[in-house]
Structure 1
Amino acid sequence: MPNSVLTSPPGSFPWTVLHDRHPALIAKVGDGLPYSPDRLSALDALASEITGPIRPLPPDAHDAGTWTEWSRDYVGESWYDVPFLFAESYFYRKLLEAVGYFRPGPWQGVDPFEPAKSPELRGAALAEELALLSELPPGQRDEGLLTASLWGNQADLGFQLSQTDGGRSTALVADDSASLWPLLNGTVCIVADNAGRELIPDLLLADRLLETGRATRILLHVKAYPYFTSDATMADVLACLRRLADDPAGKRLWQAVRTGALTVRAHPFSVTPFSYHDAPADLAEDFATASVTIMKGDLNYRRLVGDRAWPADIPFRTVTEYFPGPVAAVRTLKSDVVTGVRPEMLARLDATGEPWRTNGTHAMIQVST
């Protein structure tokens, strides 16, 4: 078993996330809402902490005992000497602590990332993408919705729909979409990634599956609370449904939630620093009973295969054979972890000298049954 991806060495992608992205995010959160002096002070303290040793949550935090158990091997260690998945997860939990998300008071339940989410739903880019999708001929609608769900807010949808080679995007480093479509029947489980411009096409894909009768039920898993900046929560689902309120698909989705044809789950496991190897029994049951589980996005991919230094050409089926049911990864590449890439494709990509694993210019659709 390969080692877990760590937050070191200096200059690595995980290191840059901690060293550059997290401090910038703290500043952005502090500027995004008119936080009171005590909240701003807490954000400053977090910015200082992430340059030194990891500290425990306050003892009166509602989940202090849980995180004490999860972090027992890491408290006192440098943020730069621990598993990357743990460091990111714990950072976001501490960020919510700093802004008072769980504390009684005026900031309880206020999403610190919402100021960046709402503009996407109101923006011209989303309106253009929705118009483009609505104009697709019936024969192209399935592939168009899958393409939109794959790329989300990472690239211009019109560009991606045009960049094909024999019907397949030239930016895909692995493409098992032909194996995915036959699995999209009965109960389909979608584990969402980002809100906004990515969640909208996920919902439209769900509507398409229900409307055409291929799926009888969609289980949509979202995060239990704000996490990883843009990850979707139930509040984000509702915001998207309101954005689609005048669209026939939006009306159908609203009714689907009412009837249970579209069921939204927000399992507590969604915000833990663990891979799906450790999924609790009730969550594993959702995955086992679905015709396929679609894991959206980069974080879900890392949790699916294990955030480890896998050889890029190790078969996707090998690293997901533990999963309780058929599973598909639909992901834009934004981290180092990758599996199932053919050796010739890997050689060609590496020869470019570009950071193709992390810069969001490539994607993959992988299926294991």
Structure 2
Amino acid sequence: MSFRADVIFGNEPGSFPYSVLAERHPAIIRQVRESFPYGPEQHRALDALLDSCTKGVIEPLPGGAWDEWGIDTYVGQPWFDVPWLWSESYFYRRLLDAVGYFGDGPWRGIDPFRPSKLAELESPETDEELKALDELASRSVEERGAALLHGSLWGNRADLGFRLSDGEAEGRDAVPDLVADDSDRLWSLLDGGGTLCVIADNAGRELIPDLLLISHLLEHARIDRAVLHVKPYPYYVSDATTADVVDALRRLVRAPGEAAAYGRRLWEAMADGRLEVRAHPYSCAPLPYSDMPDDLRTEIGGAALTVLKGDLNYRRLVGDRWWAPTTSFADVTAYFPGPVAALRTLKSDVITGLDDRTEAALVAAEGQRWRTGGTHALIQVRP
């Protein structure tokens, strides 16, 4: 990729990245501390992490972790003075170390974010959203597909979830906050053959609509198979792991009505290999996808389409940089080894692929808040 924009750092007071490092990360530490009955060792480690992430410097990780991802470049530098994507990812790795996730003790492999993930799956809001599938069953295949696509898109906005209402099944006109819409191009790539790769974002109520869309595409032979890429370990609070996929599938199959039918189809697809789950280590890398390793590049390059879900994956896809909003999405993703689509709600400053009129209207209405508030979304495709 030919870079023409500066990397985003978190060292400007008042900026969105600065607020994440200075405010959100300490809040996450407090949340994790209260979620489990950790012992003195974990509490001391969490205290040390809190002190480090607000006033300290980057330190080596145990066991030489991240050596291949350039940690030596940043050791000794303040958290705020290294690339924001890198420091955010480093924070979550340090958090897992603090609670013993990678250790040899009894807390090994215990997801510190699991309580909130499960609470979301069991919420009344999830019940209501799954009930909406019963109404959707009477629609045409095309309407169901459009509704499920928008469900997968807006499922990344925590205060919305997905709603399969009359209007939303109609497409773009019912989603006025969609700032770029290549959905027609996306459907043209799902033409009845090949493999769909989905690089997942969050678990819980945000993973379920992704699974529902995959189920629909398999049922109606828009794809031969799907590969769902998840994280190999907990990451960014709510990012999906294999355990979260299992929880979501169990939630679907024990639901009433149409939801259970979707769940059973997915369960069967897992059994016969039409749906596979991957957890590549690079999914947790603090680096852009332009630097992906050869094995991942080869796998993705063989897919009919790769869909990247969510804000973090978008940052890794186009590069976590201060692009001009009208920068060509196709140009900054030209390195990608196959057709690629991004489904994302806007929760960070990074944006590409807008037209001049759309950008001007957003700035006139909201200043720069439209970039980070999660109230706008996009569907962008590079065939």
Query: Which of 207, 215, 233 pairs up with 2:223?
Result: 215
Which deviations, in whole Å up to 9, do the C-alpha atoms of 1:281-323 show, x marking residues without a partner? 1111121111110000000000000111111001110110111
Shift of 1:168: 5.1
Q: Percent identity?
A: 51
Query: Which of 36, 41, 50 pairs up with 2:53?
Result: 50
Structure 2 counterpart of 1:172: 178
Structure 1 counterpart of 2:372: 358
Which stretches in structure 2 are left out of the alignment for 5+ residues? 255-259
Structure 2 counterpart of 1:254: 267
Matches within 5 A, 1:221-260: 221-246=229-254, 247-260=260-273
- Between the aligned partners of 2:287 and 2:272, the Cα distance in structure 1 is 33
Structure 2 counterpart of 1:181: 187
Structure 1 counterpart of 2:131: 131
Structure 2 counterpart of 1:196: 204
Structure 2 counterpart of 1:269: 282
Shift of 1:66: 3.2
SS in 1 for 2:109: coil
- Between the aligned partners of 2:278 and 2:289, the Cα distance in structure 1 is 16
Which deviations, in whole Å up to 9, do the C-alpha atoms of 1:258-294 show, x marking residues without a partner? 1110010000000111111011111111211111100
Matches within 5 A, 1:110-121: 110-121=110-121
In the alignment, structure 1 residue 109 sits paired with structure 2 residue 94: no
Q: Per the alignment, do residues 166 and 106 of structure 1 end up closer, same or farther by CA in structure 2, a change over 3 Å counting? A: closer
- Between the aligned partners of 2:166 and 2:37, the Cα distance in structure 1 is 40
- Between the aligned partners of 1:49 and 1:250, the Cα distance in structure 2 is 44
Shift of 1:69: 5.9
Structure 1 counterpart of 2:94: 94
Structure 2 counterpart of 1:83: 83
Q: TM-score, normalised by structure 2?
A: 0.92
- Between the aligned partners of 1:71 and 1:266, the Cα distance in structure 2 is 22
Matches within 5 A, 1:283-302: 283-302=296-315
Shift of 1:112: 0.3
Query: Which of 133, 138, 158 pairs up with 2:163?
Result: 158
Judge conservation of contact 1:223–1:270 (CA < 8 Å) in 2. Answer: yes
- Between the aligned partners of 1:231 and 1:23, the Cα distance in structure 2 is 19
- Between the aligned partners of 1:65 and 1:295, the Cα distance in structure 2 is 26
Matches within 5 A, 1:320-339: 320-339=333-352
Shift of 1:159: 8.4
Q: Per the alignment, do residues 34 and 142 of structure 1 end up closer, same or farther by CA in structure 2, a change over 3 Å counting? A: same
Which deviations, in whole Å up to 9, do the C-alpha atoms of 1:196-216 show, x marking residues without a partner? 011101011111011001111
Judge conservation of contact 1:298–1:335 (CA < 8 Å) in 2. Answer: yes
For structure 1, which segment, 265-274 or 49-58, has the greater mean C-alpha deviation from structure 2 after superposition? 49-58
Q: Per the alignment, do residues 282 and 79 of structure 1 end up closer, same or farther by CA in structure 2, a change over 3 Å counting? A: same
